[in-house]
Structure 1
């Protein structure tokens, strides 16, 4: 249940008529992360999805979870924020053997927010699974002049050859967004991406430190976070968000719909785009609501 609830809804829609069952793994109410002990009574499964960070913004114990899944003969699927990979261990290094499949949302790599899109997703896997990957795969080769070039490869998987048995019938082309992200990463470089990730974490630390000084606001999870944090308030979250919006502040995400057991909880985030003035303005407005 620490995977984004809308992601879970989408996957359920895709597999519900394929005799595939999704099992929600409970999270620890103290840390906001999966606890290994909660997996011991789970039925056998084909794969374990490990979000990093998870929907609450907390960092999962990915090494322990990956090794546990492998010991049970399960595939491990890493669901990651790519920006965190500049400062955290990449999924290929999780546990003793790494994750088998990795996917995620590419928007943090320089794609402007735009009411839900267009963005792009990314997916990678170990070589032994590559022929089961959906979508088109571009491979590196050389042209007649022996210069590096790129071409579609492993096309036998695709719909123009495999027809109804293709693995790439559910796909879209977001090439423009991918190009923009490539330019963004090339301009920033490894150090620039690391600095961006650190700035996200630092801004969120500043925001949370100030918000919890407000009466009735508290951080509910003790787990380590990246740049999203769950706060509990005394008032209904919908009312608070509406009041903040009247000040042109997008105050966060109301968790009441998907996690009613958490009470009046709000997911807040501060990226590298936020200034000290933005943070102070948010805190000042929330204080008077």
Structure 2
């Protein structure tokens, strides 16, 4: 859409209707000391065509992931998206983030959220799911706050193999609330140390990611049994939702609350965002859930309808006593995910998960056969850790020049893993891509 500025005549007419003489009069209530009186340091105005050329030149300085073969996941995954999803999502009826407080005029939005929540509960094996969470990190932090409120304890345990960025967000949430966060270390097998958790007491909850940041599948059932024996809450998290098409879902492993990111569910990586927070729980924790919960009902004429239910969670009802800080509707991303899951269906979702697993295993075995060290022998999904020979940094840069991103260096997040890289494979990478990577890194 082109930018069409108002003419001076347009501005004069609008100010006249409002009853002021100048635009500055609109801000007369702001003290002079709070205003910026100096002109903005902006370059001279450009014509439309010069501006387009300038934007093109800026875009050319950045790499586009579509042009690269990217072997990085680490919380943001590249998947094929059926053409039906962006087409349906672009319809004008859906392109609004208006909060559905008035059910009589928001039936479409409410039904979309209802369908999304239904699909999420089926995927995760939970009783109830909410909507409108920004991403997996905030959803996980909200889940821990739920446990703190439920147990009245001020200490939570978080696996060191939860996404490093998620752990940063958790600390941001917990510090002001006076909640102590202790980290559970990992074992030589690349899994969270269950014995370390057994030695911890007075925990409100433990949060364990599966597949974890190394791509390793965790024993959520073991952690559930251990934390339940301590009268705490088991929280499962994830960054790759496609994994649940193949793995035993959290509900079948005794998890109380599940929090994760739904970016994989048909949402493009889009230069780092947006994400989609998924949050679901058993009925026992239903009233502690933040966000929006849509229910189906019937009106006075017996017709089916949708409403926000258990709305005491909403800040417009309870204000400072609300259980949520969600204040804008992430409904478009939720609808995107619902369309994606409905497009694939149950069998399609499982088949996609199997393809992702098989391709990752193919690359893992090919690298091992070429002499590359596979760091952890535990089962993985989509991602795995390798240790490349000393001096691999030069090879990494050479591959970048060939538009290949050979994994994520882990030393930044885990200093003890110098020379280790996290590799990710999804259905978007071909066998030729995988074979070429093996050839390049072992040359």
Please report the TM-score for the alignment, with normalisation by the length of structure 2.
0.61
Name the residue aligned to 1:149.
305
| CA–CA distance in structure 1, aligned partners of residues 270 and 390 of structure 2 | 29
C-alpha contact 2:161 2:213 (8 A) present in aligned 1: yes
Q: Is the 8 A contact 2:201 2:230 kept in 1?
A: no
Distance (whole Å) between structure 2 residues aligned to residue 139 and residue 242 of structure 1? 53
1:130 aligned partner: 286
Q: Which residue of 2 aligns with 1:112?
A: 268
How far apart are the structure 2 equivalents of 1:159 and 1:24? 32
Say if 2:406 is the partner of 1:251: yes
Confirm or deny that 1:221 pairs with 2:373: no
Matches within 5 A, 1:44-55: 44-55=202-213
Which of 136, 151, 161 in structure 2 is aligned with 1:2?
Answer: 161
Equivalent in the alignment of 2:430 = 275
Choose 15-24 or 276-285, whichever is displaced more. Answer: 276-285
Please identify, of 109-118 and 3-12, the stretch whose mean Cα deviation from structure 2 is larger. 109-118
Unaligned regions of 5+ residues in structure 1, if any? Answer: none
**How many residues of Structure 1 are paired with residues of Structure 2 in the alignment?**
283
Once the 2 structures are TM-superposed, how far is the Cα of residue 284 of structure 1 from its aligned partner? 2.5
TM-score, normalised to structure 1's length? 0.92
CA distance change for structure 1 residues 25 and 239 in 2, over 3 Å: closer, same or farther? Answer: farther
57 and 151 in structure 1: CA distance in 2 versus 1, 3 angstrom threshold: same
Query: Quick check: 2:407–2:424 contact (8 Å CA) kept in 1?
Result: yes
Contact between 1:237 and 1:265, CA under 8 Å: does it hold in 2? no
Structure number with higher helix proportion: 2
**Preserved contact between residue 384 and residue 424 of structure 2 (Cα < 8 Å):** yes
1:87 equivalent among 234, 238, 246? 246
Cα RMSD after superposing both structures = 1.8
Higher radius of gyration, 1 or 2 = 2
Q: CA deviation at 1:250?
A: 2.4
Shift of 1:143: 3.7
- Quick check: 2:242–2:349 contact (8 Å CA) kept in 1? yes
**1-side partners of 2:364 and 2:311: how far apart?**
49
The answer to which structure, 1 or 2, has the higher relative contact order (CA under 8 A, 6+ apart) is 2
- Within 2, Cα distance between the matches of 1:243 and 1:166? 53
Equivalent residue runs for 1:1-289 within 5 Å:
1-29=160-188, 31-80=189-238, 81-94=240-253, 98-170=254-326, 172-215=328-371, 217-235=372-390, 239-288=394-443
- Kindly state the Cα deviation for residue 28 of structure 1 after the two structures are TM-superposed: 0.5
CA offset at residue 232 of structure 1? 0.7
Aligned to 2:71: none
Tell me if the contact between 2:220 and 2:255 (Cα under 8 Å) persists in the aligned partners: no
Change in 2 beyond 3 A, CA 1:168/1:150: same
Per-residue deviation at 1:87?
Answer: 1.6
Per-residue CA distance 1:215-247 (angstroms, 9 max, x = gap): 4x2101111111110001123565544332211
2:78 alignment counterpart: none
